A and B are shown apart, each in its own frame.
Chain A
Amino acid sequence: MGAAATLLPGIPVMGHPIHPERALEVIDQAWKKQMSDVALNAARSNGATYTDVRIGRYLQQFVVTREDKVQNIVNTESFGMGIRVIANGGWGFAATDKLDKDNVAKTAELAVAIAKENSRLLTEPVRLAPQKGYGEVTWKAPIEKNAFAVPIKEKVDLLLNVNSAAMKSGADYVNSILFMVNEQKYFASTDGTYVDQDIHRIWPIFFVTKVDKESGKFETRNALSAPMGMGYEYLDARPQDKIQGVTTLYRGRYDMLEDAKVAGQQVGEKIKAKSVEPGKYDLILDPSHLWLTIHESVGHPTELDRVLGYEANYAGTSFLTLDKWESKKFNFGSKMVNIVADKTQVGSLGAVGYDDEGVKCGQWDVIKDGILVNYQVIRDQAHILGLNASQGCCYADNWSSVQFQRMSNISLQPGKDKKSVDDLIKGVEKGIYIIGDGSFSIDQQRYNFQFGGQLFYEIKNGKITNMLNDVAYQSNSQEFWNSCVAIADAGDYRLGGSFFDGKGQPGQVSAVSHGCSTSRFNGVNVINTSRKIG
């Protein structure tokens, strides 16, 4: 489905509450290898032809506040083992949180039994792309400051100061949250791989609201932060991380306090802003906004499981059918549109050394000079594209969830010519500059979409004139990417992302980043979203 990023009620909380200090404990690698071998051997002796084991420790810390109150502090740990096997040509999966040798062996037997039961409803046996064993290897996210080592009080103080700053500058209400995640994942397979990985993610977010009591009108301005694959250093903003323009934007580091202060002022401006005239506009889209359009219109339709129909009952299928890829000339976007999948990008949400089926991660072209050239693939799909290796897109959100194909970081490459945001705006006669992500919706094959935003500025004859309100744009993915006429250079490149991207039945979440520089799209249909009830 989509990036459930801004929906507060949808926050998935997994695991058992723990004392904050327990999050800093580390589990012995030799013990994890020993327990994995118990599972691998038990599955093999029960008839499995392939087995992988994931021992996962998933830590979450969420600090939730509103105005001058701490609403909730969540510290959870979820620890256990998931065992996936192939037997009689079919997949089987079972998971347990009781990691003694007997129970691990029994769980492996159960996974084999489920595989055998499922195999009677198969049309063809699973075909896995070959994968060499890497032996015993490790990967750690290159963080500077472990967020779980920062005292809770420091985090509470930050959020309450953020709230106070927003209120002082004009907000009536403010909610703020710090999400922090640490995945300690151990993977072992019958290919001979044993991988220990340490992954960190952080997302500071706020929602600032102002109510005009007289008219009854209210508006909200959300934080312009990005969720990142970083430690607490993301919140140590330096002057060189700030981009000054019509509003301050952030690259790689975030000044939450400063953004809250500005948001308190801007939410008042939003209430008074001119309602947009519907029609065709040239859009200048900031990376804090465009990441979501990339996610929905490029990331999801290039997932091969959707193309093949495995998500038909829930998330849907894809307009990027295999014949379009086979033709080698499907014109997805204009010639300047180059989109790359990259599971190694430093600071991104999807960065890992190895995926959840033991494949070393890398990068590859998805859209090259506007043409569809590749998809996102896992081991049991690679043969369909004639590939002899997976691209490393397998992920499970917990030890108790079965791994499946999930989105890689998918990013629009910056323009090759030197071009700033001002250069982009200068050439626009009638346009709108959109900053921040808002409402988003796209069809089940990823053709027709509609996006809102946080801040909208009218552009007339190359100049920003005033703030607009009630803006949403509608387009078709192929039409939209073919209307891309300018992309700012690498100096403007930034990451955005989704912390809780949902997919699958039962549903699982994943986190994924999308990078880009500010880009221009010509002649896009803009609608006015204002309505009256009663």
Chain B
Amino acid sequence: MTILTQDEARSLMKKVLAYSKADECEVNLNGTDRGNIRYARNAVSTSGRISQSTLVVQSAYGKKSGVATINEFDDASLEKVVRRAEELAQLAPENPEYMPVLGPQKYAEPVTFIQSTADISPRWRSDAVAQSIQVAKDNKVVAAGFLEDNTRYAAMMNSKGLFAYNTSTNIDFSITVRTEDGKGSGYATRGYNDVTKLDTKAVTKIATDKAVLSASAKAIEPGKYTVILEPTAAAVLIERIFFGLDARQADEGRSFLSLPGGKTRLGEKLVDERINVYSDPLNRELPTSTWNGDGRPQEKINWIEKGVVKNLTYSRYWADKKAVKAIPGPDGAIMEGGTKTLEELIQGTKKGILVTRLYYIRDVDPQSLLLTGLTRDGTFYIENGKIQYPVKNFRFNESPVIMLNNLEELGKPERTVSDESNANYLLPPMKIRDFTFTSLSDAV
């Protein structure tokens, strides 16, 4: 176990700072215990356990800074890493955007660590996978999955007296189930801080049902359709808005948040007024760190309120230049929704398509945030409030900004994992009109 307590981390970093001769010195200390198991064709293919600790020292002389890292924590190594950072700082060209380190900050008490997740053993992992494989075998389908858990700590301290410490746990599980004839495929994924919430058997059953239901899909014409996006499908589109909240890009005129004449959409209505997006490190369903990598506190922030862009993210340099508060990017995002379940959204749909997963998302045009990608692992035609039959996969070309202007209804938010970034979010299933499918795919 590489997890240091708060006191152990504090005394180690104090020792590091005592060796510093630079104008400024900042120390980041991280440790992770990570275990994983991967399987395919109903058998385990690989598994591993990796423990890593890293001490990062940043030294600065004026606006010249250098970084050095080490994973040995004896006194000689600690002194060596400080000297190395100072040497690299002397060699470095001056960085006009270098910002002095922060002084002491106040952080909320984090709620990211769950002991039961930290206690996961190799036998627990293989048992969880054995249960998943058994569901597949019982249903005569073929499972491929991946389970990864981690326990981390992070701490930082600098020569101006800042100190921060956090521990966290997380487990992600994803599974693709295919029918033996290769004509049906289903997927499900879950992410939690608390492993006791994960039931690999139940998640495998969901993917199995989708695989069986999606077999022998019919081709329907591509075009504009009302779609219901499950949270897993919505995540890979909506997160592109979260990733694009950088104020500098918007101010420089090269973002979907830029407007003609050097203006931005900050304070402007961007999407439907029922859209509210915020981040909150203390949310019990999606807890995240209460401080970010450069020591700024992470607080509850409204990003989109009633469809209006309320805040953008700033580097400390850009915030200083613009004389605004330097709000860091969030570690997780939450979109408010309604109370309806996915089934209720389907029941209220006259004609539409249920999209359970989207894949291979790429930017097509950063100006409009136009994205392309494909449906995958279960796409279904809905008529008169019921799933009628599976349909062949589509390629789409759509912007999440346009999509959230074509909003019909939001369901009840749930925690989901992005297939593209592995980030966790709280997102509702959503009903969208005029979603643009541009071609058919034969892929199952």
A residues whose Cβ falls under 8 Å from a Cβ of B: 1-2, 9, 16-19, 69-71, 73, 75, 90-91, 93-95, 97, 114, 117-118, 120-124, 152, 156, 172-173, 209, 211, 213-218, 220, 308-314, 316-317, 319, 321, 400, 402, 404, 439-448, 450, 452, 470, 472, 474, 476, 505-506, 525, 527, 529-534
Contacts and interface: CB of A to CB of B under 8 A. Distances in A.
B370 A91 contact: no
A17 B70 CA distance: 8
Given A121-B43, A309-B178, A448-B441, A314 B146 contact: yes
B43 A123 contact: yes
Contacts of B361: 441
B442 A442 contact: no
Contact of A213 (B68, B126, B261, B442): B261
A460 B362 CA distance: 30
A312 B359 CA distance: 13
A117 B122 contact: yes
A281 B145 CA distance: 41
A54 to B, nearest CB: 14
Given A19-B87, A69-B95, A173-B254, A400 B41 contact: no
A532 B367 CA distance: 8
28 contacts: A91-B46, A93-B48, A121-B44, A213-B253, A214-B260, A218-B254, A218-B367, A308-B41, A310-B41, A321-B182, A439-B364, A441-B362, A441-B373, A443-B360, A443-B376, A443-B443, A445-B441, A445-B442, A445-B443, A447-B443, A450-B372, A527-B397, A530-B365, A531-B370, A531-B399, A533-B256, A534-B270, A534-B401
Contacts of B144: 309-313
A73 B71 CA distance: 21
A310 B146 CA distance: 11
A70 B96 CA distance: 9
Given A470-B365, A525-B439, A529-B370, 18 more contacts: A2-B362, A17-B67, A17-B84, A19-B88, A95-B48, A117-B47, A117-B126, A121-B130, A309-B144, A311-B40, A312-B144, A312-B185, A314-B174, A446-B443, A448-B395, A448-B443, A476-B442, A505-B36
A472 B46 contact: no
Contacts of B68: 16-17
Interface of B: 36, 38-50, 54, 67-71, 84, 87-88, 91-93, 95-97, 122-123, 126, 129-130, 133, 142, 144-146, 148, 174-176, 178, 182, 185, 187, 243, 252-254, 256, 258-262, 265, 268, 270, 359-370, 372-374, 376, 393, 395, 397, 399, 401-402, 405, 438-444
A211 B122 CA distance: 54
A313 B368 contact: no
Given A17-B68, A70-B95, A91-B46, A216 B258 contact: yes
Pairs of residues from A and B, 9 with the lowest C-beta to C-beta distance, nearest first:
A216-B260, A448-B441, A211-B253, A312-B144, A445-B443, A443-B443, A531-B368, A313-B144, A505-B146
Given A118-B47, A444-B443, A531-B402, A123 B41 contact: yes
A156 B93 contact: yes
Q: Which secondary structure dominates where chain A touches chain B?
A: loop
Contacts of B252: 172-173, 211
B444 A445 contact: yes
Nearest to A438: B364
A122 B129 CA distance: 12
Contacts, number: 223
A375 to B, nearest CB: 17
Contacts of A312: 40, 142, 144, 176, 178, 185
Contacts of A443: 359-360, 374, 376, 393, 395, 441, 443
Given A121-B39, A308-B41, A313-B145, A441 B261 contact: no
Contacts of A114: 47-49, 122
A117 B67 CA distance: 41
B87 A16 contact: no
A16 B443 contact: no
Nearest to A152: B91
Nearest to A507: B422
Contacts of B402: 531, 533
Contacts of B373: 441
A531 B441 contact: no
Contacts of B40: 309-313
A91 B45 CA distance: 8
A294 to B, nearest CB: 17
A440 B268 CA distance: 32
B51 to A, nearest CB: 10
A160 to B, nearest CB: 9
A17 B69 contact: yes
Contact of A122 (B44, B438, B444): B44
B92 A214 contact: no
Given A213-B253, A313-B175, A402-B48, A319 B442 contact: yes
Contact of B254 (A1, A152, A211, A448): A211
A105 B165 CA distance: 35
Contacts of B405: 533
B48 A218 contact: no
Contacts of B126: 117-118, 120-121
Nearest to A84: B46
Contacts of B50: 95, 400
Nearest to B142: A309
Nearest to A120: B126
A172 B46 CA distance: 48
A286 B133 CA distance: 47
Contacts of B438: 474, 527
B52 to A, nearest CB: 9
Contact of B397 (A2, A308, A529): A529
B421 to A, nearest CB: 9
Contacts of A527: 397, 438
A78 B300 CA distance: 38
Contacts of A400: 50
A403 B393 CA distance: 32
A73 B92 contact: yes
A213 B401 contact: no
A24 to B, nearest CB: 16
Contacts of A73: 92
Given A121-B126, A531-B368, A70 B47 contact: no
A313 B362 contact: no
Contacts of B93: 70, 156
A17 B174 CA distance: 34
Contacts of A217: 367
A80 B48 CA distance: 16
Contacts of A321: 182
Contacts of B41: 123, 308-310
B178 A441 contact: no
A380 to B, nearest CB: 10
Nearest to B122: A117
A505 B38 contact: yes
B115 to A, nearest CB: 24
A146 B29 CA distance: 34
Contacts of A213: 253, 260-262
Contact of A448 (B67, B70, B399, B439): B439
A323 to B, nearest CB: 11
A119 B280 CA distance: 43
Contact of A16 (B71, B360, B368): B71
Nearest to B207: A313
A533 B359 contact: no
A527 B439 CA distance: 11
A446 B399 CA distance: 23
Nearest to A95: B50
A394 B69 CA distance: 31
A316 B444 CA distance: 9
Given A121-B39, A505-B36, A319 B88 contact: no
